[in-house]
Structure 1
Amino acid sequence: MEPAKKKFGQNFITDKNLIKKIINILDQEPDHLIIEIGPGRGALTLELCNRFKKVVAIEIDSDMEMILKSNIPNNNLDLIINDVLKINFENLIKDKYNRISIISNTPYYITSEIIFKTLKISQKINKAVFMVQKEVAERICAKANEKNYNNLSVACQFYSNLKYEFTVKKNLFTPIPKVDSAIISMSFIQDNIGKVNDDIKFVSFVRKLFNNKRKTILNNLTNITNNKQKSLKVLDEIKIDSNKRPENISLNEFINLFNEVQNEKN
């Protein structure tokens, strides 16, 4: 059996009950396109193929190709051997499917990149289920005024209804990783996208405001506007205390702040 490769952050799931529990989080409509990132040896993939009409699995490790093809005889699997960060998701999405979901036992070293890539197509998919390191899951699901709250938390909450589903103990993987993992689900919503004139710019704006979490929102905003007085005026206009730090600002306040800065430009 092909061993796990550290460079790809591979840790394989072996527990069949866990596999079913993870897949049960997805909407169970059979007429469904599932995009799986990092299938590994195919533990999740086989169950996905048994339940859903079409599965596209993206695997970076070419050594897994023959294993996947021999383990999964189903003709509803499309296997792509490539780096997921090089894949154009839009090309994978087919209009003929009623629902589209993404699922991944996410390689820890590219977790944020995969999630941000998913958010960019959030208007075209219904749900994402990610297995990530427990600490990362807590960060993603953190709310304002919690220590783990960051720009990824804000972005995920902007695009989706987030849920920390459950913790996965490290001894359920082969090889056993150093830390526990967790399953999070994201049910995508359109509500917030209409509140800003450019959602991609909004996410970039929030990321810049978190560049230095120790600094006040005023200092971080001034780094964007290059004008402290203008930044003070903007914060005063929408009633945000200039001494607050980015981790104290709620999603709605970030939206208001972005819109006010945009208005000031016009």
Structure 2
Amino acid sequence: MTSAHRPRKRFGQNFLHDRGSLERMLAAIDPQPGQALVEIGPGQGALTWDLLSRLGRLEVIELDRDLCARLETERSRHPGELIIHSGDALKTDFCALEQPPPLRVVGNLPYNISTPLLFHLLGQAGCIRDMHFLLQKEVVERMAAAPGGKDYGRLSVMLQMLCEVEPLFTVGPGAFRPPPKVDSAFVRLTPLPTPRYAIDPERFAGRVRLAFAQRRKTLRNNLKGVIDAAQLEAAGIDPGRRAETLTLEEFARLSMLPSLQDG
């Protein structure tokens, strides 16, 4: 029998053990034989072996080498092909994994890397069919937030421009070992065939980053030196507004304005 693994704080490890929550996650993912699926952070395999039994083949990415060794030891007891990548998901080229795209991506993501990992995956959305993640509930609320509230920010705008965002259900702290101090939520992200509005993705990402650079400042101040007030007014956007009040369509318009630096 494999000895117990001590969760490591530096890796943000909170292992899901509640069977009811795992069954709900599996039902939402609905893995089918032949689908290309990759699990980020399989940990002790709570979800991994169920996924593998349904798919027949599964790739996993795990940063903790002790857990990789544990998975290697245990996989002989489970039918199917488990491909283990020992490495950092933040540095992984998902489009170059062994299984051909489109990929399905799942994971119980550590809170400390969830936002940068979501941005990393957005950059590779062209080879991803869908993503299912267990995240801090507060992050999921930001992902799905509507304009005008404190939860609406850069993450909301970037994800909603490129994906359907569907919060599915909440999971309490008691479902994990050790229990985190906050609630978690399971969310589905489905990349859209094309962005919701006509944009240049790189330019759009840069303008959204600038607009939210300092949340309490107006667009006039945050975009100073890049876009002036006259340009904003010509595009029908009041330069005295804050970024959190803009709709996706307005951000698309903002991103299409020429930069003062281009001249």
TM-score (norm 1): 0.90
Q: 2:114 aligns with which of 111, 114, 118?
A: 111
Residues 156/206 of structure 1: CA separation in 2 closer, same or farther (3 Å cut): same
Please name the residue that 1:121 is paired with: 124
**1: CA distance between counterparts of 2:258 and 2:25?**
41
Query: Alpha-carbon deviations, 1:34-61, whole Å to 9, x = none?
Result: 1111110011111110112431110110
Residues 257/156 of structure 1: CA separation in 2 closer, same or farther (3 Å cut): same
* SS across alignment from 1:109: coil
Pick which of 46-55 and 151-160 moved more. 46-55
Residues 27/123 of structure 1: CA separation in 2 closer, same or farther (3 Å cut): farther
**2: CA distance between counterparts of 1:193 and 1:68?**
40
**1: CA distance between counterparts of 2:125 and 2:234?**
31
Mapping for residues 124-163 of structure 1, pairs under 5 Å: 124-163=127-166
**1: CA distance between counterparts of 2:79 and 2:210?**
45
* SS across alignment from 1:135: helix
- Given that 2:56 and 2:80 are in contact with CA atoms closer than 8 Å, whether structure 1 keeps it comes out as no
**2: CA distance between counterparts of 1:263 and 1:187?**
35
Please name the residue that 2:231 is paired with: 234
**2: CA distance between counterparts of 1:71 and 1:20?**
21
Aligned pair count reads 258
Give the aligned residue type for 1:208: L
Any unmatched runs of 5+ in structure 2? none
- Given that 1:41 and 1:67 are in contact with CA atoms closer than 8 Å, whether structure 2 keeps it comes out as yes
Cα offset for 1:189? Answer: 0.2
TM-score (norm 2): 0.91
Q: Percent identity over the alignment?
A: 32
**1: CA distance between counterparts of 2:196 and 2:125?**
10
Report the RMSD for the aligned CA atoms in angstroms.
2.0
Please name the residue that 1:68 is paired with: 71
Which has a greater percent of helix? 1
Please name the residue that 2:218 is paired with: 216
Please name the residue that 1:244 is paired with: 241
- Given that 1:209 and 1:220 are in contact with CA atoms closer than 8 Å, whether structure 2 keeps it comes out as yes
Mapping for residues 1-266 of structure 1, pairs under 5 Å: 1-72=4-75, 73-92=78-97, 94-95=99-100, 99-192=102-195, 195-196=198-199, 198-223=200-225, 225=226, 231-261=228-258, 265=262
- Given that 1:128 and 1:187 are in contact with CA atoms closer than 8 Å, whether structure 2 keeps it comes out as yes
**2: CA distance between counterparts of 1:194 and 1:54?**
36
Cα offset for 1:179? Answer: 0.9
Any unmatched runs of 5+ in structure 1? none
